A and B are shown apart, each in its own frame.
Chain A
């Protein structure tokens, strides 16, 4: 029995999911492909039964973000008498409209600073053995098959600092 050839129909998900300028380029070049395109994945079958949950989450997420942003800006910038006259009498203190963003900014800056400090603390001093040797160092194993035609790429191994110094600086 001959194995069925791979499907030559292009996957519509490539066209639908990413509406970019390059899609037209890809589509124009599609007839000239000389390799078998990857067929549809099993999760693609779920697409035939309505929208995928991730798409719904994405849509609801974007709408919610816009509404939340509008509400936040209205709450932050509208003067209190105007809010009172509109009948809105219960809302969180405007103090938090400034405090929460400030907390976020300070958190980001402090995390950067602390991370940098942690990295400096993790730096070994110049006299430390960690700069030239550690438990993961590997000795160089001499290959005896140098005369063979087929020679593998040598596995990774460390070159000692003494050899590097002699190679780099010679007899100086």
Chain B
């Protein structure tokens, strides 16, 4: 174990982290925990959330910098290009970081930190968590920003092959630089119910935010039709959002108050108790790079019905999922097929298969390979990097070069004002799970 590879010092950067909740937040936290177990040092950098500001230590000694930077739009900070350079530089030097790992294409802090770390000569890795289109105004601008960030990246990670293809097309990055490392699920937390549910009454569970891109409008049409065709079907809908009113109206219109239960927002700690009360999990997303909710449901032993969008077909084997086009009629047929398949499903066997297919330890090992590959890439200076930005476009390329030159000059200025050798380095606290273990022993002795 000790002689196995070099130990990295990783800085995770994103606008999204606890106390915010979501797929990116969970991914960063679980990945960091498993990397800590492998012996690496992990530091997370995000912006302040309300009163949660400054430096905190969370489970197993994971250090989190809540930089006092006000969120501007949807938990994103205002893009300022260079104003974050001093704090990013200080954190990187204090923690003796070797790899900077940015998360999520829509995170302003991530793009800026990667740019600054690149200027300072550090290795940078980027993980893309979402699919974006090519034609709407927001996506066009976002793709240009991504092209700028990825023009000079060491390695990139996508959570599915579909997501990898999407990212390569959007940014023009070389496909050899992009790794596919899937999301995972904590199978120990999502275990099936010890007592198997009987099939006298079939319960279909929906757990997602009730917004447009999660397909809430599809649910409004699918649920009444399924209830009409199958009298013994009940629905449990967990989640909140703008489209919840439409689902409530649907319940009123079709008199389904006793067959469709609306739970509202479900804390992540209670998702398992909701899932194990059902037989089938229904996912109606219109776009997904990867769908963690499907993994959680399969880990709890539920048969999944999902729309065939984005990276969803890659997630589960065919006997664990029934795919449908994102259209109400096709989804109703898929639900019917799932109900027919239900007697042959064993939740315990499905759970064991999920434990082998997806685990965060495996994700951490694969990410470790990406870090090793990034460390092997050659170190380049400013003159070697400028041509990469020039290829981004006839006008954009020159603008990007100008931004990078200014960024480099700013770095030299910071080096002059506050030399790196003068910044105090933070002492390490060592692996904390060992201390926790000894602590538990001491508690038992008392």
Contacts and interface: CB of A to CB of B under 8 A. Distances in A.
Nearest to A146: B440
A20 B168 CA distance: 10
A38 B162 contact: yes
B188 A20 contact: no
Given A124-B53, A167-B429, A115 B175 contact: no
B70 A115 contact: yes
A154 B54 CA distance: 23
A11 to B, nearest CB: 10
Interface residues of B, number: 71
Given A130-B51, A159-B57, A167 B440 contact: no
Interface in A142-172: 142, 146, 150-159, 161, 164, 167-169
Contacts of B308: 6, 38-39
Interface string B160-204: 011001001110111100000000001111010000000000000
A105 B162 CA distance: 41
A67 B130 CA distance: 36
A79 interface: no
Interface stretch (A70-78, A82-90, A95-103, A132-140): A132-140
Contacts of A54: 135-137
Given A42-B327, A115-B78, A168-B429, A153 B30 contact: yes
Contacts of A36: 313-314
Given A3-B322, A115-B83, A116-B83, A25 B135 contact: no
Nearest to A144: B440
A17 B427 contact: no
Which residue of A21, A58, A116, A136 has the most chain B CB atoms within 10 A of its CB atom? A136
A35 B169 contact: no
B56 A158 contact: yes
A14 B169 contact: yes
A151 B188 contact: yes
Contact of A136 (B19, B59, B169, B269): B19
B407 to A, nearest CB: 15
B310 A38 contact: yes
B172 A21 contact: yes
Contact of B54 (A55, A112, A120, A132): A132
Given A123-B68, A150-B188, A152-B188, A130 B54 contact: yes
B435 A135 contact: no
A156 B170 contact: no
Contacts of A110: none
Nearest to B269: A155
B114 to A, nearest CB: 20
A26 interface: yes
B51 A135 contact: yes
A9 interface: no
A119 B314 contact: no
B352 to A, nearest CB: 11
A167 B313 CA distance: 47
B147 to A, nearest CB: 10
Contacts of B78: 111, 115
Contact of A20 (B57, B169, B314, B323): B169
Interface string B340-364: 0000000000000001000010000
A169 B430 CA distance: 11
Contacts of B134: 17-18
B33 interface: yes
Nearest to B351: A150
A23 interface: yes
Nearest to A142: B440
Contacts of A52: 135
Given A38-B311, A142-B440, 8 more contacts: A22-B175, A25-B175, A41-B326, A42-B326, A54-B136, A111-B78, A136-B19, A153-B186
Interface of B: 18-19, 29-30, 33-34, 48-61, 68-70, 78, 80, 83, 134-137, 140, 161-162, 165, 168-170, 172-175, 186-189, 191, 269, 308-311, 313-314, 318, 322-323, 325-327, 337, 355, 360, 427-430, 432, 435, 437, 440, 443
Interface of A: 3, 6, 14, 17-18, 20-23, 25-26, 29, 33, 35-39, 41-42, 52, 54-55, 58, 111-112, 115-116, 118-120, 122-124, 130-132, 134-137, 140, 142, 146, 150-159, 161, 164, 167-169
